[in-house]
Amino acid sequence: MAKPIDKNHYATPENEEAPKLLFKDLIKFDELQKMLEVSYSATGMPSGIIDAITGEVYADAGWQKICTDFHRVHPETNAKCIASDTAITDKIKHGQYFANKCRNGLWDIGVPVHCMGTHIATFFLGQFFYINEEPDISFFINQAERLGFDKEKYLEALAEIPRFTREQVQQTLKYNTALADFLSELASSSMKYKQEISQRKIAEKELRNLQNYLSNIIDSMPSALIGVNLDGIITQWNKGAEQVSSLASKQAVGQPLEKVLPRLSSEMDKIKLAIATRQKKLESAKPCIINNETKYEDLTIYPLVENGVSGAVIRIDDVTDRINLEKMMIQSEKMMSIGGLAAGMAHEINNPLAGIIGYAYNIKNRLFGDLEKNSDTAQKCNISLPNLQEYLTRREIPRMVDGIINAGHRASLIISNVLNFSRKSESNFTEHSLIDLLDNTLELIENDYNLNKKYDFKKIEIIKDYDRNIPAIKCEGNEIQQVLLNILKNGAESMSGKEYSDDKPRFICRISQQNEIAIIEIEDSGTGIGEQDRKRIFEPFYTTKEIGKGTGLGLSISYFIIVNQHNGSLEVQSKPGSWTKFTIKLPFADRT
């Protein structure tokens, strides 16, 4: 038996088919070493367990000096040891033990230890002599002299070799064969367990990879995806959900849906209904207030019923831009139609209106004008012109004529606005600072005091939130100021009709940039605008003001200035009773 055994001589086809794990990976050898030592103390039989693949010694007891100090040291005797080991290994590969007397004159027995049918280790017994076989002393003396061993020590080591009867060897072999079988079963069980663990780890890794892959797909979706169970507890929370809630997944998962997203608490009944009927539920363009802004969301509920586990996936899509665009397109088409109709009517009305105003001026001149012809005609009719004028004055005819003239001019102004409203501006666009335009407009109206409308700009707080780095923009400055002036006056009038306790009249004016778009926001703290009024606020002649206080054209003209003349957008958001915000968006690109 070798200590150590040359690894190379074990490179046999049998070992190439061996399990990937070594024997030491399958068995704990601390207790096995103790067993060999106890067995050696009881029987005197040297033993050892050696890896069949690497030659590594895992446990040993009673190894003899003649082998370790002499035979395994000299090349010639070591070659004989290797030949014996090889012979034993070749014989035991089919599962039987094999006893061999090596060419160095000692007996060795090899018992195979298998793992799932593969020879993985060898349980060696020896070296020893049989009692009825006295060793040839002369052979050992000659070998010591020929190979240069210390003859005295060599023969002392020879004398220490244990001797057994064949019956003793068989009894010891019977025990150690049973031990080898036990180790084989133990190694096979350990191998199966490790393979199961390995396969489970591979499966778990593949599952994790799949979960990560699916999670990446879910996170890359622009929609917010939220998984909930039947009780409304969140089970899935993707990146889109993090964006709409500002909560990370680890903060949301495990929490009730209504706690994390209160605006969805009303959807629990729909979730349960979707699960019960196994049919998805869709709610399109659902309005909600987020950060004091009106947003629109498409809400889709997909039921999940699998293996007795019930739940749902809620998909939230922000469709605010789409809804606003649709509204703007509808508004533009409506206003273009109304504008075209109004322009046609304006042209038809303009001519008779000019006649009405002209005739009114003529009536005034012929009755009260200092004209010689007036006096001549009165004399021919035997009428006193001063008496006639006195009579007409007392009957308030001059006031009525002036009323006709003033009403005619007012109608003419409306017609002029309608025509401007329907025409594409031919103004020259030049570069302007939006900050300067807004500041100049605020300065212009700072001293505006309207007694009839009961507002005073000096009593309104102005808060400015400007991006000072915003570049100049090409626009028609006077038209933009006209829009700003109209919005500010409407806001001031709205705030004049509100009673304040803790708050006070306030404008918040913001100027910012988003990509290639300049944004102006004017927010007032007035009475707000109701949903129905907000839908029609840009329509021509639509007004919520009392008769005589507004034509309903101001915001319509503002809308066309921004949308038609400047290729921008004009939007309004409001919370009735609290605030109204107008948002103007203008492109930085040159006007086309």
Q: State the CATH number of the domain containing residue 478.
A: 3.30.565.10
Task: Give the rounded percent of residues in the chain with a pLDDT score beyond 90.
Answer: 42
Run of H or E including 309: strand 309-318
> SS3 for 105?
coil
What is the pLDDT confidence band of residue 335, given thresholds at 50, 70 and 90? low
Task: Please list the alpha-helical segments (H only) found in 21-150.
Answer: 30-43, 65, 75-92, 137-147
Same domain, 52 and 148: yes
> SS3 for 127?
strand
- Domain CATH number, residue 233: 3.30.450.20
Per-residue pLDDT tens over the stretch 342-392: 667 777 888 888 889 999 999 989 888 888 888 888 888 999 888 988 999
Distance between CA atoms of residues 299 and 318, nearest Å: 9
Same domain, 314 and 459: no
Q: Is the dihedral of CA 178, 181, 185, 186 positive or negative?
A: positive
199 in Cβ contact with 206 (< 8 Å): no
> SS3 for 520?
strand
Same domain, 185 and 244: no
Structure tokens, 399: 């006031």
∠ CA 94-96-97, nearest 5°, is 135
What value does the mean pLDDT take over residues 97-115? Answer: 93
Residue whose entry in the numeric block shows the structure tokens 């329907």: 422
Same domain, 58 and 157: yes
pLDDT of 74 higher than 70:
yes
Distance between CA atoms of residues 519 and 521, nearest Å: 7
Q: Which of 321, 349, 377 is the last residue of a domain?
A: 321
In whole angstroms, how large is the CA radius of gyration of the chain? 53
Distance between CA atoms of residues 122 and 137, nearest Å: 30
Same domain, 34 and 173: yes
Domain count, the chain: 3
Rounded to the nearest 10 degrees, the angle between the axes of helix 166-220 and helix 30-43 is: 180
Q: What is the pTM of this model?
A: 0.47
Residue 590, Cα to own-chain centre: how many angstroms? Answer: 36
The pLDDT value recorded for residue 10 is 33
What is the pLDDT confidence band of residue 275, given thresholds at 50, 70 and 90? confident
Structure tokens, 86: 């090889």
Nearest to 119 by CA among 143, 100, 149, 98: 98
How far are the Cα atoms of 237, 402, 410, 412 from residue 353, in angstroms, in the given order? Answer: 67, 15, 11, 7
Run of H or E including 295: strand 293-306
User: Residue 418 falls within a domain, yes or no?
Assistant: no
Structure tokens, 137: 């002393």
Distance between CA atoms of residues 335 and 558, nearest Å: 12
Would you mind telling me the total number of residues written for the chain in this entry?
A: 592
57 in Cβ contact with 3 (< 8 Å): yes
Same domain, 144 and 225: no
User: Residue 97 falls within a domain, yes or no?
Assistant: yes
Higher pLDDT, 321 or 140: 140
> SS3 for 553?
coil
The greatest distance separating any two alpha carbons of the chain, rounded to the nearest whole angstrom, comes to 184
Residue 267, Cα to own-chain centre: how many angstroms? Answer: 22
Residue whose entry in the numeric block shows the structure tokens 């030049």: 430
> SS3 for 135?
coil
Residue 565, Cα to own-chain centre: how many angstroms? Answer: 39
Distance between CA atoms of residues 341 and 467, nearest Å: 41
Non-local (6+) Cβ contacts of 271 within 8 A are 228, 232, 301, 312, 314
Non-local (6+) Cβ contacts of 504 within 8 A are 461, 525
- Count other C-beta atoms under 10 Å from residue 312's C-beta: 27
User: Residue 379 falls within a domain, yes or no?
Assistant: no
pLDDT of 18 higher than 50:
no
Structure tokens, 483: 């829009």
pLDDT of 422 higher than 90:
no
Per-residue pLDDT tens over the stretch 543-554: 666 544 555 677
- Count other C-beta atoms under 10 Å from residue 152's C-beta: 9
- Whole domain around residue 281: which residue ranges? 221-321
User: Residue 465 falls within a domain, yes or no?
Assistant: yes
Rounded to the nearest 10 degrees, the angle between the axes of helix 75-92 and helix 137-147 is: 130
Same domain, 189 and 228: no
Distance between CA atoms of residues 415 and 317, nearest Å: 44
How far are the Cα atoms of 9, 125, 165, 175, 176 from residue 170, in angstroms, in the given order? Answer: 29, 11, 9, 9, 10
The pLDDT value recorded for residue 291 is 76
What value does the mean pLDDT take over residues 160-181? Answer: 94
The pLDDT value recorded for residue 421 is 53
How far are the Cα atoms of 50, 108, 386 from residue 89, in angstroms, in the given order? Answer: 11, 11, 151
Residue 202, Cα to own-chain centre: how many angstroms? Answer: 28
Structure tokens, 335: 């206003």
Higher pLDDT, 9 or 26: 26
118 in Cβ contact with 190 (< 8 Å): no
User: Residue 356 falls within a domain, yes or no?
Assistant: no
SS (H, E, C) 265-287: HHHHHHHHHHHHHCCCEEEEEEE
Q: Where are the beta strands (DSSP E) in 400-451?
A: 430-432, 449-450
How far are the Cα atoms of 207, 218, 219, 256 from residue 214, in angstroms, in the given order? Answer: 10, 6, 8, 24
Same domain, 180 and 285: no
Same domain, 168 and 55: yes
Non-local (6+) Cβ contacts of 591 within 8 A are 429, 474, 475, 566, 567
Same domain, 563 and 491: yes
Q: Of 23-32, 87-96, 253-262, give the range with the top mean pLDDT.
A: 253-262
26 in Cβ contact with 115 (< 8 Å): yes
Residue whose entry in the numeric block shows the structure tokens 């100090």: 69
pLDDT of 15 higher than 60:
no
- Rounded to the nearest integer, the mean pLDDT of the chain is 85
Q: Which of 321, 345, 363 is the last residue of a domain?
A: 321
Same domain, 227 and 189: no
Non-local (6+) Cβ contacts of 342 within 8 A are 418, 421, 422, 540, 541
Structure tokens, 355: 């006649």
The pLDDT value recorded for residue 452 is 47
- Count other C-beta atoms under 10 Å from residue 207's C-beta: 10
Same domain, 492 and 569: yes
- Domain CATH number, residue 179: 3.30.450
298 in Cβ contact with 314 (< 8 Å): no
572 in Cβ contact with 580 (< 8 Å): yes
pLDDT of 52 higher than 50:
yes
Q: State the DSSP string of 51-76.
A: ETTT--EEEEE---HIIIIIITTSHH
Q: Which of 299, 321, 343 is the last residue of a domain?
A: 321
Distance between CA atoms of residues 398 and 360, nearest Å: 10
